[in-house]
Every structure is written in C-alpha cells, then in structure tokens.
C-alpha cells in the first residue's frame, strides 16, 4: 500500500470513530496506575532535559496531552485526524492542537524538549517507521526525551471495526521491543529503559524511553 493510501485510510477511520473514541477513553487513565506512572516518569525526564514544549504526536482527542499539562509539562498535540483535533480543541481549549502527520512533521529542527508517541505508531507500516523516527530525531533537541508506547507481538492485523462499532480500515502492527529499540538506535537515539505492560497477550504493551544522542563537536 502506498503512503498516501494508508495515511488516507487512517485519517478517514479516525475521523469516523472520533466521537466514540473520545467518549470511551476520556477517563481511561483513572483506572490505569501503571500508565499514569509511565507518563509521570516521561514528564520528569522531559522537564529535566530543559525548558521547552513537548509534542504529543498522534494525540487523538487530547486526553494524554492534557494529562501531561497537569504534570507541569508544556504539552501540545498533533494528530492526523481533523475530527480528533476538533474534539481536542473543544475539550481542552487552553491547549494547542494542530492537524499534522508524523510522516512529515511541520516543526522546526531541535524545537521540542520531548516527544510522546502514545500507541500512535501502531498504524505505521514497518518500512515507514525509520522515516518517522528520523522526523522525531530532527525536531527533538539533543538529549531530549522520547517515549514510545506500542502493542507487543509480531503480527499485522486489519481492523475493520472499532470504538462503538463504527467501520475502520486500518492495519494494527504489533512489534517486538527489540525491533523497535533497534530502529531507535539506528535513528540516533539512546534507549534508556524498556517496560512491558499487562500479562494478557491480547493487550500486551511496551514503553520505550530514549533520548536523542547529544551532538558531538564538529572537531570530534
């Protein structure tokens, strides 16, 4: 499938389910202590990497962006789906949200102190992930914090229905943490920690913490 094809399908699918998705997940963190702990650790790492904004890429309706803001992080959100961004702006008018794609980030080089991709790489095909991580590396400041959350496994499944029974047409890619860590290393990141979540194979997730490697002096 071409890049335009899977991006268009992902955008259309999440435009379709945006309202149901937001309603179903709005309070999900209240019953997710491990996820809250992971986000708190990321917020601390982002703050210690220096002042500056933190990008929640693939932010959906903005629930995670708002949670980071509550942890003292200058967070803003980017999402492919205009319908998701409309809901994010409605529910969190005090925060900044933009329509955009992680495959072509409209952010300046070294402009953010942290990047969060919270289960938003799951629809990106394997051969597109290195280019996405290259964009993350470009816009993140040297030594800036990165957190990737994703589904664990080694399969690609077509999702045709979800979030209230609405039709979707997206592939869900499950990946081994070692593979994602290798992609990060190749893209110029230093992986600092890995965490696995949930003993249930159908819902197992992974959280990888990394930093953009500091730039070496030109004379090095």
19 vs 83: CA distance, rounded Å: 8
Classify the phi-psi angles of 97: left when phi > 0, otherwise alpha if psi is within -120 to 50, otherwise beta.
beta
218 domain residue, yes or no: no
Phi, psi at 208, each rounded to 5°: -110, 125
Owning domain of residue 203? 3-168+197-212
53 domain residue, yes or no: yes
Give the tens place of pLDDT for each residue, 105-144. Answer: 999 999 999 999 999 999 999 999 999 999 999 999 999 9
189 domain residue, yes or no: no
Domain count, the chain: 1
H or E element at residue 102: none
Phi, psi at 176, each rounded to 5°: -70, 140
What does the pLDDT read at residue 28?
94
- Dihedral sign (CA 33, 50, 89, 78): negative
What does the pLDDT read at residue 215?
64
What does the pLDDT read at residue 199?
61
Q: Which two tokens stand for residue 91?
A: 């529910």
CATH number at residue 61: 3.40.50.150
163 vs 32: CA distance, rounded Å: 19
217 domain residue, yes or no: no
In the predicted model, residues of the chain with pLDDT beneath 50 are 1-2, 216-220
28 domain residue, yes or no: yes
184 domain residue, yes or no: no
Eight-state DSSP code of residue 62 = S
Is the distance from CB of 189 to CB of 133 less than 8 angstroms?
yes
178 domain residue, yes or no: no
What does the pLDDT read at residue 203?
72
Cα–Cα nearest to 204, from 169, 164, 176 = 176
Is the distance from CB of 78 to CB of 102 less than 8 angstroms?
yes
Per-residue burial over 123-157, b if 16 or more Cβ lie within 10 Å, else e, is bbeeebbeebbebbbbbbbeebbbbbbbbbbeeee
For the whole model, what pTM was predicted? 0.93
What does the pLDDT read at residue 165?
87
67 domain residue, yes or no: yes
């Amino acid at each position: 499938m071409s890049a335009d094809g899977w991006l268009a399908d992902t955008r259309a699918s999440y435009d379709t389910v945006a309202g149901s998705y937001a309603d179903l997940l709005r309070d999900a963190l209240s019953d997710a202590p491990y996820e809250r702990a992971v986000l708190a650790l990321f917020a601390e790492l982002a703050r210690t990497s220096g002042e500056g904004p933190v990008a929640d890429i693939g932010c959906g309706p903005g629930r995670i962006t708002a949670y980071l803001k509550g942890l003292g992080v200058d967070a803003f959100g980017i999402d492919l789906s205009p319908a998701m961004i409309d809901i994010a702006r409605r529910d969190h008018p005090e925060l900044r949200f933009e329509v955009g794609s992680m495959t072509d980030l409209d952010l300046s080089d070294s402009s953010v102190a942290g990047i969060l991709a919270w289960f938003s790489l799951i629809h990106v095909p394997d051969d597109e992930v290195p280019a996405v991580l290259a964009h993350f590396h470009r816009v993140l400041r040297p030594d800036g914090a990165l957190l990737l959350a994703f589904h664990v496994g080694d399969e690609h499944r077509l999702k045709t229905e979800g979030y209230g029974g609405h039709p979707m047409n997206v592939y869900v890619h499950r990946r081994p943490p070692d593979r994602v860590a290798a992609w990060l290393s190749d893209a110029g990141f230093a992986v600092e920690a890995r965490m696995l979540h949930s003993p249930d194979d159908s819902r197992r997730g992974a959280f990888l913490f990394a930093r953009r490697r500091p730039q070496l002096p030109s004379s090095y």
